[in-house]
Structure 1
Amino acid sequence: MQAAPKVQLDYIDALRGVAIIGVLVSHAQRNVEIYQAMGRDAALSPWLSRYAEQGARGVQLFFVISALTLFLSARKRSGESEPWVNFYIRRVFRIAPMFYLAFAAYCLAPVILKGHALPGIGTVLGTLTFTNGWNPAWLLGANDVVPGGWSIGVEMSFYIVFPLVFLALRSFRAAWMALLIVLAIDLVAWEPLLAHPPIDDADLWARYAFVWLPNQLPIFLFGICAYFVLFDRAGGLTAFFHGGSRAANAAWFAVAAAVLLVVPQWTDDPRAVFAYGAAFALTTLCLHRSPYRWLVNAPLRHIGKISFSGYLVHFFMLQVARKLLAAVHAGDRLSPDAYFLATVVIALAGTVVLATLTYRFVEVPGQAMGKRIIQSLKARTVAATT
């Protein structure tokens, strides 16, 4: 494999910013149309509702970016004495500190202060140990422990198998073939899986069959294919997305944008998630070649940098927005569309402020602690060998 290049990843942070905004928008839509935040039944304009609902695919954008950056990082650090031990230390200390703080705020505090019932012990333990991705009740019940916890369970499940994936996929051809095989299996197996649920709760199984790792694996593989195109030998594709025609690059970017604009209005079939994964990977490739300033800019890069904290705190800020709008009787004065937009603006602003603080005072120290542990283990290894 080629030596790891020094790369500028501003566009990666910007895409993370887009992803968290999309997730927030989808939850704001649910607040209005499902949770009756206006104090009454309300429906957005159909076109707006469908686009807002599909903002949830920001999770899949996170998955594409995660797979790409994990491959890039693993290759850069492949010369370490204990690369996979270090990999898991970095992952745990990247995720756990902020996640456990969210657990304390969302789950423990209501139990202690308000007498709320604690979710099932299996769900709690599965969520806190990041093993909930392989049990339908635990994975979807994780949202009762930490809102949005299901996606973190899927991400951590990918971390578990990542060393095998990294060692098995050594070229673009291998990654592409793996993508086609897994994608074909998922598409063919979807209807039989739903028709023959292995548990009594068919609805729970249908939701689980969509979100569990085997169904989301093609999304990660799209990101891995993008990695090989950008940072390894993938023939003409690598050459094009590093220095090809800007006009052609813009055309491919327009194709990806068209998919993201058309699919939400065209179908709500869960299998359309794979079209989103392909569009996100293509968007990533195009932004590497031409990081358009209207998208790759300082505000979005900052939101992307704090996006993990933002993912966990935006649920709280949506409730803050709901209370603020209720205080001024916005539900009586605004149309559903306007109320939705007001919710997004208030919640996003609050999320950026709060997530900036938690990133600085929780995430950064947590990552630093992981680095210190790695350095300590390295020093012990060196001492033992000398």
Structure 2
Amino acid sequence: MSEDRLRVLDGIRGIAALMVLVYHLPLIVTPQATIPDWALFTAYGGSGVKLFFVLSAFSLCLTMPAHLCSGAPLFSFFTKRFLRIAPLFYLVTVYQLLSMQIAQGQLPPFDILLANFTLLFNLYPKAADCLIFAGWTIGVEVLFYLMFPALYRSADTLGKRAALFIGSFAAFPIFMGLLSYLPVDSAVAERYSILTIFLYLPAFAAGMLVFPIYQRYAQQDGAREIGLILLSVAFALYAFLASGRLIGILPPAHWETFCFGFFVLGAALRGFPALIDRPLSFVGRISYSVYLLHGPIIIMANPLFQWMNGWEAPPTVRFTAMLATALCLVLPLSLLSFNLVEQPSIHLSKKLIKHYTATRHTR
């Protein structure tokens, strides 16, 4: 995949990160910030996590051949995935625990701590929310990482991936039926129903499905035109969904899966206009830090946002000022986090993989 294409993937990550930030900003500010009428679309910004999931599966399909050629594919894959997410996750978790100790004078029970530090909290209904603000998605991602090598190997044709995509829609109702027989509190089960990986398997399956389609058309004449058509379909679906016109035909979660599947495939084929390409790819490169840090940063700056929310000014002015302020706080700190935590972890994973494969070859 060319450098331009890779930058497009970063751009998509940037869009997803900004969607989530814009969605959470008015919800975090206490009292809740007023959203101008034109910005009501931000209510669907939470679906940015589903865009992350579709893109995650697409990206893993892109990089898996390199792991397969490494001589130690599973070691290479899991080492890279673990060191990509765990260091910053643990750092923010420790910060959250210190904050809880200071504010509440106590820490969560041992089972919750164990679930979080093993990264397997999405398997445990009581802990699926995660200790980190909005960190529940990391638990979903980790379980998909554990599944991915087997899925990649078994669903190795377009037809098999189409079957996987269709079948993935049955996973959630089947799982919820089984969950009803387990001794899980009803309130916990209700919350878990929107956090479990089984709800998001279609999004991951969509990412795996559109990747071979991308491979088939990327080098053909007219690829950019096809991409533009797919992007138009994605935007139309999103607009209809946000306006409520599609509700009742299919569950919103299913429409989002189709929408973001079209969007990822269309963007990969078409690319973004030069004017927004580089800014989006910049945000995309630091998107993991943006995602994990935006909540704590906005919470710490809540007095500032409260003051801005109380301005005697039109809602558009207040919301725009708050959003600009949030970006000015979150982006520089996320860049710092990327350089100090993420980049060293990425380099460490490469060194470990290189050392392990070299050691195996000398035996």
Q: TM-score scaled to structure 1, two decimals?
A: 0.85
* Kept after mapping to 2: 8 A contact 1:14/1:303: yes
Q: CA deviation at 1:352?
A: 0.8
SS of the equivalent of 1:324 reads helix
Do the aligned residues in 1 keep the contact of 2:308 with 2:318 (CA within 8 Å)? no
The answer to whether the 8 Å contact 1:63/1:155 transfers is yes
Which residue is 2:35 aligned to?
44
Cα separation, 2, equivalents of 1:246 and 1:239: 9
Any conservation in 1 of the 2:227–2:268 contact (CA below 8 Å)?
no
| Counterpart contact for 2:226–2:269, Cα < 8 Å | no
The one-character-per-residue Cα deviations of 1:35-62 (angstroms, maximum 9, x if unpaired) are 4146xxxx5356634x212101111111
Shift of 1:305: 0.3
- Farther off after superposition, 72-81 or 57-66: 72-81
> Aligned in 2, Cα 1:177/1:372: closer, same or farther, shift over 3 Å?
same
Q: Hey, what does 2:23 align to over in structure 1?
A: 26
Structure 1 residue aligned with 2:332: 353
Q: Do the aligned partners of 1:209 and 1:215 also contact (CA within 8 Å) in 2?
A: yes
Assess if the C-alpha contact under 8 Å between 2:231 and 2:262 holds in 1.
yes
> How many Å separate the matches in 2 of 1:149 and 1:197?
27
SS at match of 2:68: coil
Q: Does 1:180 align with 2:166?
A: yes
Match for 2:345 among 366, 382, 386?
366
Q: TM-score, normalised by structure 2?
A: 0.90
Q: Which runs of 4+ in 1 moved over 6 A?
A: 267-270
Tell me if the contact between 2:88 and 2:341 (Cα under 8 Å) persists in the aligned partners: yes
Q: Distance in 1 between matches of 2:175 and 2:118?
A: 29
Q: Is residue 242–residue 289 contact of structure 1 (8 Å, CA) maintained in 2?
A: no
Contact 2:67 2:76 in 1 (8 A): no
| Residue 264, structure 1, aligned to residue 242, structure 2 | yes
| Inter-partner Cα distance in structure 1 for 2:301 and 2:181 | 39
Is the contact between residue 16 and residue 307 of structure 1 (CA under 8 Å) also seen in structure 2?
A: yes
Distance 2:315 2:276 in 1: 31
- The reply on whether 1:212 has 2:196 as its aligned counterpart is yes
In 1, are the aligned partners of 2:128 and 2:136 still within 8 Å (CA)? Answer: yes
Query: Does the CA-based 8 Å contact 2:21-2:294 persist in structure 1?
Result: yes
User: How many residue pairs were aligned?
Assistant: 360
User: CA offsets, 1:312-346, max 9 Å, x none?
Assistant: 110122124432234x5641424555433332221
Q: Retained in 2: the 8 A contact 1:226–1:285?
A: yes
Partner of 2:141: 155
Per-residue deviation, 1:311 = 0.5
1:182 touches 1:217 (CA, 8 Å); kept in 2? yes
Is residue 182 of structure 2 the alignment partner of residue 202 of structure 1?
A: no
AA in 2 matched with 1:310:
V
Identify the residue that residue 316 of structure 1 maps to in structure 2. 296
Partner residue in 1 for 2:127: 138
For 1:242 and 1:278, how far apart are their aligned partners in 2? 24
Q: How much is the aligned-residue C-alpha RMSD, in angstroms? A: 2.6
| Counterpart code for 1:351 | V
Aligned 1:1-386 pairs, distance under 5 A: 6=2, 8-32=5-29, 35-37=30-32, 43-45=34-36, 48-49=39-40, 51-111=41-101, 113-114=102-103, 116-140=105-129, 142=130, 145-186=131-172, 189=174, 196=180, 198-231=182-215, 238-239=216-217, 242-244=220-222, 246-266=224-244, 271-293=251-273, 297-326=277-306, 328=307, 330-336=309-315, 338-384=317-363
SS in 2 for 1:292: coil
Q: Percent identity?
A: 25
**Structure 2: where are the runs of 5+ without partners?**
none
Cα deviation for residue 295 of structure 1 reads 7.2
1:242 and 1:288 in contact (8 A); partners too: no
Give the match's secondary structure for 1:302.
helix
Deviation digits for residues 274-331 of structure 1 (CA, Å, limit 9, x no counterpart): 21122112112212222131675111100000000111110122124432234x5641
For the residues of structure 2 that align with 1:312 and 1:158, how far apart are their CA atoms? 19
CA 1:45 to 1:311, structure 2 compared with 1: closer, same or farther past 3 Å? same
- The Cα of 1:193 is off from its aligned counterpart by 7.3
Give the whole-Å Cα distance in 1 for the aligned partners of 2:117 and 2:330: 23
Structure 1 spans left out of the alignment, 5+ residues: 232-237
Rounded Cα–Cα distance in structure 1 between residues aligned with 2:169 and 2:198: 10
For residues 194-220 of structure 1, give each alpha carbon's deviation from its aligned partner in whole angstroms, at most 9, with x where no partner exists: 9x4744533331231222111111100
100-109 or 149-158: bigger deviation: 100-109
Give, in angstroms, the shift of residue 115 of structure 1: 5.3
Do 1:67 and 1:221's aligned partners in 2 also have CA atoms closer than 8 Å? Answer: yes
- Measured against aligned partners, the alpha-carbon deviations of 1:62-92 in whole angstroms (never above 9, x if no partner) come to 1111101111111232122211011111111
Q: How far apart in 1 are the matches of 2:176 and 2:113?
A: 31
Measured after TM superposition, the shift of residue 239 of structure 1 is 3.0
Q: Structure 2 counterpart of 1:216, which letter?
A: Y
Query: Residues 273, 241 of structure 1: CA spacing in aligned structure 2 closer, same or farther, 3 A cutoff?
Result: farther
Moved more, 170-179 or 310-319: 310-319
Structure 1 residue 265: Cα displacement: 2.4
Aligned CA distance change for structure 1 residues 254 and 287 (closer, same or farther; 3 Å): same
Measure the CA separation in 2 of the matches of 1:78 and 1:248.
31
**Greater relative contact order (Cα < 8 A, sep 6+):** 2
SS in 2 for 1:130: coil
- The answer on whether the counterparts of 1:29 and 1:52 sit within 8 Å (CA) in structure 2 is no
> Structure 2 CA distance, aligned partners of 1:115 and 1:30?
22
